Structure formats: C-alpha cells, structure tokens
Amino acid sequence: MASLIRRSARIPSLIGQCCRVSTLQNQQKRGYADASSLTFTMASPNKVFFKDEAVRQVNVPTTNGVFGILPQHVPTLAVLQPGVVTVVVNDSDTRNIFASSGSLTVNPDGSVHVLAEEACELSDLDPSEARDAMHKAQTARDAAVEAVDKAEFQIEVDAYEAILKSAESKS
C-alpha cells in the first residue's frame, strides 16, 4: 500500500514530464516553408478570400478580444466576434474583411483557417444601408414578445453595430 501511495505521488511529475516531451515533439514537427509567413485560408459559404496563401500576419476579432497571429503561433481555437479580419499579406498589401461570426483555427502545422458565417470586403460595406437595417432590427427587437426572438434580434443589432463601426472607420 505504501509503495502505491509513493508511486501515485509521482504521477503529477510524470504527467508534467510527458507533457513537456509531447510539447517539444510538437514544436519539432511544426515545419514552415518560410518562417516569415504563415499559410492562411479564409472562406465564407459564398466566397473564398484566401486559399492556402502565404501571409505575414492575421488580426482577428474574437469573443476574447482582437489578437494577432504571426508565423509559429501556438495552436488555437477561437470563436469570431463580428468585426474586421485584417490580413497583412506583405509590406505593401493589407486586406480588411468584415466577418459576422465564425471560427478560427491555428493548426499545429502553422496553418490558419478562418471560416466565416458571412463575410465581405470592408470596402463593400455601405454605412447607410447598415444604419437602415440596424434600425429595422432594433424596432423588431423592441416589438418582440418571446425572449428567444428578442435575443436573436439583439444579435442582429450587435452585428449591424459592428458593421457600422467598421464601415465608418474605413473612411
């Protein structure tokens, strides 16, 4: 019994050692064609914005805030918040794409995937149309009786607010 207790007391250090070994092995497996770029894919159901393209940096709005992804970023999963995904392709080319929601995956091989529920180039957003749509969503939210309907319209209002903020910041 005493030897079992002694062995079980070592389990946390064994697990820690195994995790460090596993992490080191994963770091060694992560191969990059060019350490100054990462492979990026961004798509929505209607359009593919990037497909396995080399880019320098990607800034994404998530539920935990906006953060930047550089080459050799740690593997990550995140949920997108409505806002602008900024893609720094190279020194002279930066693209801004508005995403309503979706998911972000930074894979162990260093590739990055953004799958947006809806997305469009920031330059294609029309602030006046967004204002009109937001007003309609606010009116519908205020008139809704069911809590579920109110919540759905609030999500719509939040998305339009993000669109307005993004569209107005481009000018």
Range 38-123: architecture per CATH: Sandwich (2.60)
Taking only the tens place, the pLDDT of each residue in 62-112 is 988 999 999 988 999 999 999 999 999 998 899 999 998 899 999 988 899
- Per the DSSP assignment, residues forming a β-bridge with 94 are 88
Per-residue DSSP letter, 101? S
Looking up tokens 């007391």 gives 9
Query: By the 8 A CB rule, do 69 and 60 touch?
Result: yes
Domain ranges of the chain: 38-123, 125-169
Taking only the tens place, the pLDDT of each residue in 19-50 is 554 444 554 454 444 567 899 999 999 999 99
Looking up tokens 């204002």 gives 131
So what's the pLDDT on residue 17? 52
pTM given for the model: 0.73
Per-residue DSSP letter, 55? E
Q: Which residues contact 166 (CB under 8 A, 6 or more apart)?
A: 83, 84, 96, 98, 122, 125
